Amino acid sequence: MGNLCGGANQSVSNFGGQVPSVQSKGFKKELKTSNVRFKVSQFAVLNTSKFTDHYEIGDFLGEGGFGSVSECKHKASQQMRAVKLISKEGFTDQMRLDFIHETDILKRLAHQNIITIYEMFEDQAQFYLVTELCKGGDLFEEISRRGNQLFSEGEAAHIMRECLLAINHCHSEKICHRDLKPENILLDTDNRVKLIDFGTAESFDKQQGMEGLIGTAYYIAPEVLNEKGSYSEKCDIWSLGVILYMLLTGIPPFNGRTEDEIFKAIKKGTYAITHLTKRKLSSSGQDLIKKMLTYNSANRCTAGEALNHAWFKENSKITKATLEESSELVANLKTFHESQKLHRIAMSYITSQLANKEEMKNAEKIFRELDVNNDGKIDREELIRGFRPIYGDLCEQEVNKIFRAADLDGSGQIDINEWKAATAGQKGVVTKERLQKAFEFFDKDKSGSISIAELKEALGYKDGLIEESVWENLIKEVDGDSNGEIDFEEFSNMMMLIAENVSSKKA
């Protein structure tokens, strides 16, 4: 069997073959190199070296879709991650296509509440999919562990809000999960919720809808059971409504002894309100469940509408973060948009592949605060609103600079991966060891220098997509000896010079 996950050029389609236009003569050189657009998730590629060269296998965690899951330690960062080991024995072409489909979907999604893929490996016997590690188990295990002890409204609100944030992002990217259930909701030790298992996820078109009986009995929406019609992304909202009902009552709203009986109950569409009133659930909690379990999907609430429901405000324990309290983060943003393009590319790799969760925690908090519409992305208007107290009349001008630098894929929005790269700064994040690992990622042939061809490969570009002079300018910005390639000393000098500039500004 060939490569499971395709080559490094797999995500060229992200850019649609279009080169951003140069609009301002005042920033001619900057805009030329800014034509090099890429998704940070492009770094999650098939690694052609041995898995054991980069990881140490740890404790067995359990069986998952396609194979077993174990802990593993990333040697370069010393971080613990999870690896799914998938045997090639009996692995059909369709299973391979399904697996590629799932990884492609996950690479399109960048969100704090969706599992992150780091990289993939392949050998003669099996495939290896490396993801972030969530040590709290899944929600089904937590429900089982509690037994008769139900979730408080505050606990349920936290879990449901995180799930809705993830699904709102999916739906904004025109992706429907289609199999939401407690087993596919992981609980991390830092109180973060992560959605997994996008094997049945599908891109959707609001005009055409989706078809096919997909999902798990208790959680399937009634319109999915209708064989004659199509359905929308709101089937995900129904599934989350079922989960919320179960968290607060301990029983499913649509029950039965067999799958057929469960389906009949779902098609009928009525659930027992008495279980909610016995629990003395607040009126706002009952109202949210009613809106999420509305039988007619056209009248069912969206993820965004659910997130704005009064019940979450009544049960919120979120500590707000503000830009005014994060002067270092603001300074890092300024430095990022003044830096060379290659520096931004390197920072994207370091923050997405090598930095740990603790180092990114403040950036994530600020990002969530700026994301007013909860779609998992920051647009210009949201950034202007957040920066207005800092920059005043100069706000729009400064925001334009930030966007020109931080919007790495040219989408007109900043996702969480781009935000981390732009705000992380050098202190503690850029170490000698991480610089070496970042350099090695781009130095594909291990020659000790990075060429234009290697940069193209790392960023997923084919020849001709962008004129060669753009790549030459990108190299020239840091090529001290003018030999057309970047060695490790030049690479390090570029990163360290930025660090010195940051220190001098703070002094």
Q: Would you name the residues annotated as active-site residues?
A: 179
* Crossing angle of helices 468-476 and 452-459, rounded to 10°: 110
Q: Are 215 and 262 in contact (CB under 8 A)?
A: no
Residue 25 assigned as binding residue: no
Long-range pairs for 66-71: beta carbons < 8 A, 24 or more residues apart? 66/95, 66/99, 67/126, 71/133
Rg value, the chain, Cα: 24
Q: How far apart are CA 414 and CA 432, in angstroms?
A: 28
Label residue 195 left, alpha or beta by phi (over 0 means left) and psi (-120 to 50 means alpha). Answer: beta
At residue 58, what are phi and psi to the nearest 5 degrees? Answer: -115, -145
What's the CA angle centered on 423, arms 417 and 424, to 5 degrees? 85
DSSP 315: T
Bridge partner residues of 117 (DSSP): 131
Amino acid letter, residue 333: L
Distance (Å) of CA 172 to CA 99, 124, 164: 23, 39, 12
The backbone torsions φ and ψ at residue 86, rounded to the nearest 5 degrees and listed phi first, read -120, 115
- Residue showing tokens 């996820």: 201
Binding site, residues? 84
Binding site for ATP, residues? 84
